[in-house]
Structure 1
Amino acid sequence: MQIDTLNRLSAWFDDYTQSFLSGNAKVDAPLTLKIDHTARVRENIRELAVSLSLDKAKIHLAEAIALFHDVGRFEQYRCYQTFHDSHSVNHAKKGIDVLTQLNVLESLPDIERTIIIDAIRFHNVPALPDNNGSPSMLFMRLIRDADKLDIWKVFAEYFQNDKDRNPVMVQHFVDQPGWDPKMIEAILEKRTARFKNIKNINDYKLFQLSWVFGLHFPVSAVLARKRGHLAAIAGTLPVDDAIKQAVATVMAALERPVCE
């Protein structure tokens, strides 16, 4: 992808997302969060792509994917007032629908359009399809790692802040004692926990910690360790031997990443 094309897509994204804002900072906060998140995911994916010595065209393509990976969130929130896909729509599918209906990718070469759509479609699924020979696979892996790195940042800051709690941020999960043992079990078995087992905010935190076992690039684990957001999330969990063991397993994975 040429830089002029990326700049054009970026300008479209800015115009599109600004059209959802009312001018009331409190009302707009969830959408502003997604705009800011997109900018940081774009920075993350560029850092990962550069670390892999990708050429400029592939770096620009990766940035375009980051730009659009959550574009469906804006219609989702306007229609349903939530970011919980199970209670509304699959935001990845909604994003693809938006890009298709508005002909945003129409002028791109077929291969670039396919890679962008594939990366968006699979950025939020439990596991990637088994087609390692696909030209989309590298970019699917890049967006998943780049996205996780920023989600950890967002929630580390959120869980450490006792003010301005917003149920939209935690997908309306309740803040109550305890946790589902299945979350701990998944971490001890070094696999990503299942979203369907989340019952409360402690489960949600453990779910996010379990993402370390789905990272695709060692450099992603290096960045996660350096930034300290996983440790910050872990620090907000209850003090308990089972939790302590799970957290230790996560932190060890950052030192010796289990990358696909």
Structure 2
Amino acid sequence: MLGEHHEEFFMIEELMGSRWGGYMVMAVLLGGVALLLRFLYGPHGILRDPRWDEENRRIRAEEEAERQARKERFQLDMQYPPARDISLSPERLLSFDEHCSLFRSYAANFITNRTEDAPIRLKEAHSLRVYTHVENIVRTEHLPDDIARAGLLAGLYHDCGRFPQFCQYRTFVDAASVNHAHLSLKVLKKKGFLIGETPRVRALAQTAVLLHNRSVLPERLTPDARLVTDMVRDADKLDIISIMVAHFEQALPENDAVFLHVQNRPEACSPTVIRDVLAGRVVSYRDLHYVNDFRLLLGTWAHELRFPITRKMLRASGHLEKVFSGLPDTPEIRASVAFLRGVLNEAPQETAVSGGSRRVSR
């Protein structure tokens, strides 16, 4: 019996001294080291730096955003392929598909195929969705053809100044760069995108582009010009809110252009913003300091939605509820959210305008 044990011992000793035995020992040691490192620094490891997880989430969010962007670009290419051979002439009235392709060709001039293109591609897709939202408004309202056409064109081109703005200033903050609505009107005129339209349609569309970002519309604005501008403003707000929801659900980077470079402090909210909300005022961009301020700003846009269809679409989407879900739970915030929910559920009032069309207001 003892001899058998000695024999086994010598066999093990011989194996340990062989090349394969060394490999086995090394594999066991490396496996033990790997397990130890995982225990110390792996997920939930006792020595793991939380910043590593934040960085991993940020990278995964960027990769998912890029996959989504590629999917959106493919869909846009299928629906509105860029067409650089469209001729602009006062004698030629472009179809809406041609206008969409023309817009995409213009936006493509600012694409560099680098990571920095993300804000540019965001605005390209945003503009086309605003155009689609205006289509929904046109379908539900009894609008003359010229009013409808002006609204659709203004919705498509309303942000064409965003592309040179970002390329030159690397920001979408107008106060830190240039008024993007003024720049959009300048681009429209310089590029001649509306040269084939009637003077009335061109004037209405250009007016809406110029005024779409105003906090208050001029009193002297004609009813038809106000109607076209309201169509663009409603459609613009509806899509911006959906964009913000998608960004809120990601790991927010510091100094993010989409959030106008506000600070990401989960519990912080500016007292001025809360006072404006509870006073029934639309929050000003100038008062935004934190991401939560931005959340409440989006909620106050309910005051300015002029069409029943846009209010209905916003309620049905649940986007505002998702925006509100990220706010801190304080008495002031709860009161603000309850107030804004009530505003969204109010029904806008209708008033007549020329040509048998109608506009709505609160």
What SS does the corresponding residue of 2:195 show, helix, strand or coil? coil
Structure 2: stretches of 5+ with no match in the other structure: 1-91, 349-360
The residue type paired with residue 179 of structure 2 is N
What SS does the corresponding residue of 1:63 show, helix, strand or coil? helix
Distance 1:147 1:201 in 2: 20
Determine the structure 1 residue equivalent to 2:236. Answer: 147
Deviation at residue 48 of structure 1 after TM alignment: 1.1
Determine the structure 2 residue equivalent to 1:93. Answer: 182
Q: Find out whether 1:203 has 2:203 as its counterpart.
A: no
Determine the structure 2 residue equivalent to 1:20. Answer: 110
Determine the structure 1 residue equivalent to 2:333. Answer: 243
Q: Find out whether 1:186 has 2:276 as its counterpart.
A: yes
Contact kept, 8 Å, 1:22 with 1:28, in 2: the verdict is yes
Distance 2:343 2:303 in 1: 7
- The TM-score, its normalising length taken from structure 2, stands at 0.67
Tell me the number of residue pairs that the alignment of Structure 1 and Structure 2 aligns. 258
Distance 1:117 1:57 in 2: 13
Contact kept, 8 Å, 2:255 with 2:262, in 1: the verdict is no
Determine the structure 2 residue equivalent to 1:168. Answer: 257
Contact kept, 8 Å, 1:175 with 1:200, in 2: the verdict is yes
Determine the structure 2 residue equivalent to 1:254. Answer: 344
Q: Find out whether 1:226 has 2:306 as its counterpart.
A: no
Contact kept, 8 Å, 2:269 with 2:290, in 1: the verdict is yes
Contact kept, 8 Å, 1:68 with 1:120, in 2: the verdict is yes
The residue type paired with residue 280 of structure 2 is K
Q: Find out whether 1:119 has 2:205 as its counterpart.
A: no
Deviation at residue 152 of structure 1 after TM alignment: 0.5
Larger radius of gyration: 2
Distance 2:288 2:253 in 1: 23
What pairs with 1:125-140 in structure 2 (closer than 5 Å)?
125-131=214-220, 133-140=222-229
Contact kept, 8 Å, 2:165 with 2:171, in 1: the verdict is yes
The residue type paired with residue 169 of structure 2 is Y
Distance 2:319 2:93 in 1: 32
Contact kept, 8 Å, 1:131 with 1:137, in 2: the verdict is no
What pairs with 1:96-111 in structure 2 (closer than 5 Å)?
96-111=185-200
Identity over aligned pairs, percent: 27
What SS does the corresponding residue of 2:208 show, helix, strand or coil? helix
Q: Find out whether 1:70 has 2:159 as its counterpart.
A: yes
Deviation at residue 30 of structure 1 after TM alignment: 0.6
Q: Find out whether 1:81 has 2:170 as its counterpart.
A: yes
- The TM-score, its normalising length taken from structure 1, stands at 0.92
What SS does the corresponding residue of 1:13 show, helix, strand or coil? helix
Distance 2:133 2:254 in 1: 26
Contact kept, 8 Å, 1:205 with 1:233, in 2: the verdict is yes
Deviation at residue 55 of structure 1 after TM alignment: 4.5
Contact kept, 8 Å, 1:82 with 1:88, in 2: the verdict is yes
Distance 1:54 1:82 in 2: 36
Residue by residue over 1:120-139, the C-alpha shift from the partner in whole angstroms, topping out at 9 and shown as x without a partner, is 11100101111353421110
Distance 2:281 2:182 in 1: 25
Deviation at residue 179 of structure 1 after TM alignment: 1.5
Q: Greater CA deviation, 5-14 or 136-145? A: 5-14
The residue type paired with residue 180 of structure 2 is H
Deviation at residue 175 of structure 1 after TM alignment: 1.3
Q: Greater CA deviation, 9-18 or 156-165? A: 156-165
Going from structure 1 to structure 2, the CA distance change for 1:3 and 1:218 (only over 3 Å counts) comes to farther
Greater RCO (Cα-Cα under 8 Å, separation 6 or more): 1
Pairing partner for 1:156 from 238, 245, 258: 245
Determine the structure 2 residue equivalent to 1:49. Answer: 138
What SS does the corresponding residue of 1:135 show, helix, strand or coil? helix
Distance 2:94 2:146 in 1: 11
